[in-house]
């Protein structure tokens, strides 16, 4: 499996170092692992590299994780689980209108991928190094997030406020949900601090695009 090296911007590297110094050991290990895996790729990074990056002894890792594999699963699964929770929370607080629910979902999802660019890169690029059981655990959460979008789309179609594209006269809501998620996920591949748009502006842009894709009618 080929892996692509990702070079972190100087300000991102500085942020990683500053946050590392302020965190408890387990959080410092997680932050260092994210940074090392993003910069060099999971296969070539050693436990020694991670622990050197966070200023701890090599043996300190084993106080929290049994192996480098377990560490990779932990950092991806914890980030994925938090994303799932935030998406559920955003939709639950949107007031029941499918248009507001989709807007709230996309806003949280895009903001998260803009702010946690390194974490998103690692989660999407390095998951293939995990064993089947650990991959299945993460994919369960990803399916749960997809199903949130499918439910929003179904309610919107049923209430006549969404008219998404059709395939041979039928709506394939799962395919549309996956297309929207793919679009929102990949903002982490190119967005970075100091660009033309702020995180809030990016979230608004992606929200507007998502509502247009599903043919949303204007809210009263």
Answer yes or no: is 40 within a domain.
yes
What is the pLDDT, as a whole number, of residue 9? 58
In angstroms, how far is the first alpha carbon of the chain from the final one?
51
Number of domains in the chain: 2
Domain span at residue 89 reads 68-213
What is the pLDDT, as a whole number, of residue 107? 98
- Extract the tokens encoding 86: 């935030």
pTM assigned to the model: 0.84
CA atoms within 13 A on the CB side of 50: 30
What is the pLDDT, as a whole number, of residue 90? 98
What phi, psi does 170 have (nearest 5°)? -120, 150
> Which region, left, alpha or beta, applies to residue 170 given φ > 0 means left and ψ of -120 to 50 means alpha?
beta
CATH of the domain at 81: 1.10.357.10
- How far apart are the C-alpha atoms of 106 and 90, rounded to whole Å? 9
What is the pLDDT, as a whole number, of residue 20? 45
What is the pLDDT, as a whole number, of residue 23? 66
Please give the chain's pLDDT, 220 residues, in tens: 444 445 555 555 555 455 545 567 899 999 999 999 999 999 999 999 999 998 888 888 888 999 999 999 999 999 999 999 999 999 999 999 999 999 999 999 999 999 999 999 999 999 999 999 999 999 999 999 999 999 999 999 999 999 999 999 999 999 999 999 999 999 998 988 788 999 999 999 999 999 999 999 877 5
In this structure, how many other beta carbons lie within 10 angstroms of the beta carbon of residue 42? Answer: 22
- Extract the tokens encoding 195: 């660009």
102 and 186 both lie in a single domain = yes
100 and 57 both lie in a single domain = no
What is the pLDDT, as a whole number, of residue 118? 92
- Extract the tokens encoding 100: 């507001």
- How far apart are the C-alpha atoms of 156 and 126, rounded to whole Å? 35
48 and 102 both lie in a single domain = no
């Amino acid at each position: 499996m080929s892996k692509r090296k990702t070079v972190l911007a100087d300000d991102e590297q500085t942020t990683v170092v500053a946050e590392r110094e302020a965190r408890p050991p387990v959080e410092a290990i997680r932050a260092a692992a994210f940074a090392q895996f993003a910069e060099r790729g999971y296969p070539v990074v050693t436990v020694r590299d991670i622990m050197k990056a966070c200023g701890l002894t090599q043996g300190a890792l084993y106080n929290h994780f049994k192996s480098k594999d377990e560490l990779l699963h932990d950092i991806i699964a914890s980030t994925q689980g938090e994303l799932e929770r935030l998406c559920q929370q955003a939709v639950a607080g949107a007031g029941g209108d499918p248009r507001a629910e989709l807007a709230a979902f996309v806003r949280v999802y895009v903001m998260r991928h803009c702010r946690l660019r390194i974490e998103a890169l690692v989660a999407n690029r390095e998951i293939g190094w995990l064993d089947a059981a650990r991959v299945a655990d993460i994919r369960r959460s990803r399916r749960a997030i997809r199903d949130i979008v499918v439910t929003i789309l179904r309610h919107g179609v049923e209430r006549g406020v969404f008219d998404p594209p059709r395939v041979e006269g039928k709506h394939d809501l799962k395919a549309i949900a996956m297309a929207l998620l793919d679009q929102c996920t990949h903002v982490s591949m190119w967005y970075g601090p100091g660009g033309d748009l702020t995180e809030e502006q990016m979230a608004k842009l992606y929200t507007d695009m998502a509502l247009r894709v599903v043919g949303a009618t204007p809210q009263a």
